[in-house]
Structure 1
Amino acid sequence: MNKKLLAGTTAAMLLAGMLLAGCGAKDAGTNAAGGSGQAAGGAAKPEEKKQALTFRLADTHPPDYPTVLGDKKFAELVSQKTNGRIKIDVYPSSQLGEEKAVVEQVQLGAIEFTRVSTGVVADFSKAMGVFSLPYIFDNEAHEWKFLNSADGTKLLDSLSASKFIGLAYYDSGARNFYSRKPLKSIADLKGQKIRVIQNKINIDLMEALGASATPMPYGDVFSSLQTGVIDAAENNWPSYDTSNHYTVAKNLILDGHQRVPEVLMMSKVAFDKLSDEDKKIIKQAALDSVQYQRDEWKKFEKKSEEKIRAAGVTITEVTDAKPWQDKVKSVIDKYRADYKDVLDAIDKARK
């Protein structure tokens, strides 16, 4: 009887253990399922924190210049759209180097952003050279009709082949010649040593005008004019003003030979590391900054013109551009085949 009782007791204990184990497994399974469901629903799993980023944007002009104001607006918009997660520090006044050296650094990814003249970019992306051709735009309205078109966007996008991301065009007005020597007509340019943006088209343009082209960085122009290393240069009203070139080259002729837009661009090396969401934010912020920059350009341009006229600079108005256009037609003809599609699109924007 004792053996039977012991056997029955042992069996009962084994059965109870099995029942308890089964309940435990069931409860664990329920908890696991509940935990899995929470993770899938996102309630229990914390949201992944997005990476904070700090970039640099280089500009050659002083802090209050319209392109730098555009840079700052762009940086502000990116900060707003990312709640401060992406910060872009703007470095004006060539703090990070002269334009061509900066563009090289952007191409390598050592500097993330720059605002630069398309005339300088032409040395890195041949397509941008089209803007250096003389008299291809009739006026500001014609220029921006093209820049805002699908053809203008296509040209901006072509920078990716040179390891840049073209984000937006900025305004830079029209370029005019100014000199230490009298400057009343085309004939007065003959033999003058004129500083140009460092690209081949500008050199050919000076030769067509009978002048001697002297490529050099923008930051060297003032001292070169002052010492007579060069006789003349060419640029827009704000640059002629803020560079103080008008104090040493006091003869200006308003020939409007070029309308060379600026471009805000990013290193493709840096851009490719961004998430798709951040890429969209940066592209949209750049486009959203354009109207602000254009408005600031108009205000600054007017202020610069008034300042220069008041300073007693000798200013000659060109009332008939045709003799100038005829004089440089050989430059257009030389490069027409290289830029046929873009020139056709610019002509289309004229209509």
Structure 2
Amino acid sequence: MTDRRRFLAGLGAACAGLALARPGLATDGGRLLTASDVHVKGYPTVAAVEWLGETLARETDGRVRLRQYHSGQLGRESEAIDMARFGAIDLTRVYTGGLNNPFPLTQALCLPYVFDSVAHLRRAIDGEVGAAVLAGFAQRDLVGLAVYDCGARCFYNTQRALDVPRDLHGLKLRVPPSDIFIRLLRDLGANPTPLAYGEVFSALETRLIDGAENNIRSFHSSRHFEAAGFWSQSEHSYAPDVLLMSRRSFESLRADDRERLLDAARRSVAVMRQAWDTSEQAARDAAQAHGVAFNTVDTAAFRAAAEPLLRDYLASPELASLHRRIRDLA
């Protein structure tokens, strides 16, 4: 908590003029980068950034190092984004759903039923689509380093199995702070409730909400399966995560170290995917062993209910162009 208060105080200073401050220095005069993640130690994105730090330290002979604060030690993702923008921290891993409003190109990755599978998603984010989204962060003082895919997002709740959209009617479900997800839940008949990721478990326990939507790995690592006994395999979104860096911090590095960082970040994607692919089934097995009931859904019915939302967003020429490129890779 002390670390969090100190860094949030740093954010206030950043907003007041952090651009005049110097980059973080290690005690030996090298560069110490700070990274944040709301996920727990061992989570695939946390492991990937840990590997990134080890790689940088090795390839720069210890001149550039990284200290990671996982498990939400430095606050919510929305706070981390602003801290990175203003240079109070150097790197942060965030979910694209929380970036939709300030960075419109991320909407193309979050729209419902845009991707058919994890393989389809990976083809898109490894190519021109991913490059375009990462480049879009430059408009607000961030550098997009990598896109980390994180499986299919599905619904889970405390009340009942969800087979068709009408089964969501009346349920109060947590969504990230994204207009897309809020609209989607409303179109499906649920009551969307924007909450920070770290507040979901207590909200489930106290019945403030009836459920949420996320990937199976997060469902397990956050221990939401202990409170929500129904998982419905809707696969309504494959919205990925991104690794971002403060532009100010990035530009303060030596030119050769910037290249090393970009290269290591790209390579960290494979590290993240290996950790993800080897742990996803284990997460599902653990939830099932705990007694969570899993069911498939009427995918055609869910797709039809989401179609008006998709049509409205694709009225944007930029999003329509990205969407076409994504679908061409299906």
Q: Same fold (TM over 0.5)?
A: yes
Instruction: Tell me the CA shift for residue 133 of structure 1.
Output: 0.7
In the alignment, which residue of structure 2 is the partner of 1:61?
A: 39
Instruction: Tell me the CA shift for residue 129 of structure 1.
Output: 1.8
CA deviations over 1:131-153 (Å, ceiling 9, x no partner): 22101001011111111112321
- RMSD, aligned α-carbons: 1.3
In the alignment, which residue of structure 2 is the partner of 1:333?
A: 311
Q: Percent identity?
A: 33
Contact 2:52 2:268 in 1 (8 A): yes
In the alignment, which residue of structure 1 is the partner of 2:10?
A: none
Which AA in structure 2 matches 1:137? F
- Is residue 256 of structure 1 aligned with residue 235 of structure 2? yes
CA distance in 1, matches of 2:294, 2:129: 36
- Is residue 179 of structure 1 aligned with residue 157 of structure 2? yes
CA distance in 1, matches of 2:275, 2:129: 25
Which AA in structure 2 matches 1:330? P
Which AA in structure 2 matches 1:343? H
**Aligned residue among 140, 144, 147 for 2:122:** 144
CA distance in 2, matches of 1:154, 1:176: 26
- Is residue 238 of structure 1 aligned with residue 217 of structure 2? yes
In the alignment, which residue of structure 2 is the partner of 1:209?
A: 188
CA distance in 1, matches of 2:280, 2:101: 27
In the alignment, which residue of structure 2 is the partner of 1:21?
A: none
Which AA in structure 1 matches 2:236? H
Name the TM-score, length of structure 2 as normaliser. Answer: 0.88
Instruction: Tell me the CA shift for residue 51 of structure 1.
Output: 5.9
**Aligned residue among 259, 268, 277 for 2:247:** 268
Instruction: Tell me the CA shift for residue 86 of structure 1.
Output: 0.3
CA distance in 2, matches of 1:208, 1:296: 35
Instruction: Tell me the CA shift for residue 277 of structure 1.
Output: 1.1
Secondary structure (helix, strand or coil) at the match of 1:266 reads: strand
CA distance in 2, matches of 1:163, 1:325: 36
In the alignment, which residue of structure 1 is the partner of 2:24?
A: none
**Aligned residue among 301, 304, 323 for 1:343:** 323
CA deviations over 1:175-214 (Å, ceiling 9, x no partner): 1100011023222111111100101111100111011110
**Aligned residue among 120, 137, 148 for 1:170:** 148
**Aligned residue among 86, 108, 118 for 2:96:** 118
**Aligned residue among 256, 264, 268 for 1:289:** 268
In the alignment, which residue of structure 1 is the partner of 2:293?
A: 314
CA distance in 2, matches of 1:147, 1:215: 26
Contact 1:106 1:112 in 2 (8 A): yes
**Aligned residue among 97, 105, 125 for 1:127:** 105
Secondary structure (helix, strand or coil) at the match of 2:65 reads: strand
CA distance in 2, matches of 1:239, 1:132: 17
CA distance in 2, matches of 1:83, 1:289: 19
Secondary structure (helix, strand or coil) at the match of 1:292 reads: helix
Contact 2:121 2:149 in 1 (8 A): no
Contact 1:183 1:189 in 2 (8 A): no
- Is residue 156 of structure 1 aligned with residue 137 of structure 2? no
**Aligned residue among 56, 60, 69 for 1:91:** 69
- Is residue 108 of structure 1 aligned with residue 86 of structure 2? yes
Runs of 5+ unmatched residues, structure 2 = 1-27
The structure with more radius of gyration:
1
Secondary structure (helix, strand or coil) at the match of 1:167 reads: strand
CA deviations over 1:57-112 (Å, ceiling 9, x no partner): 00000101111001101111111111111011011000111111111111111110
Contact 2:130 2:147 in 1 (8 A): no
CA distance in 1, matches of 2:243, 2:182: 25
Secondary structure (helix, strand or coil) at the match of 1:315 reads: strand
In the alignment, which residue of structure 2 is the partner of 1:24?
A: none
CA distance in 2, matches of 1:171, 1:155: 14
CA distance in 2, matches of 1:309, 1:182: 15
Trace 1:63-78 onto structure 2 (pairs within 5 A): 63-78=41-56
CA distance in 1, matches of 2:49, 2:41: 10
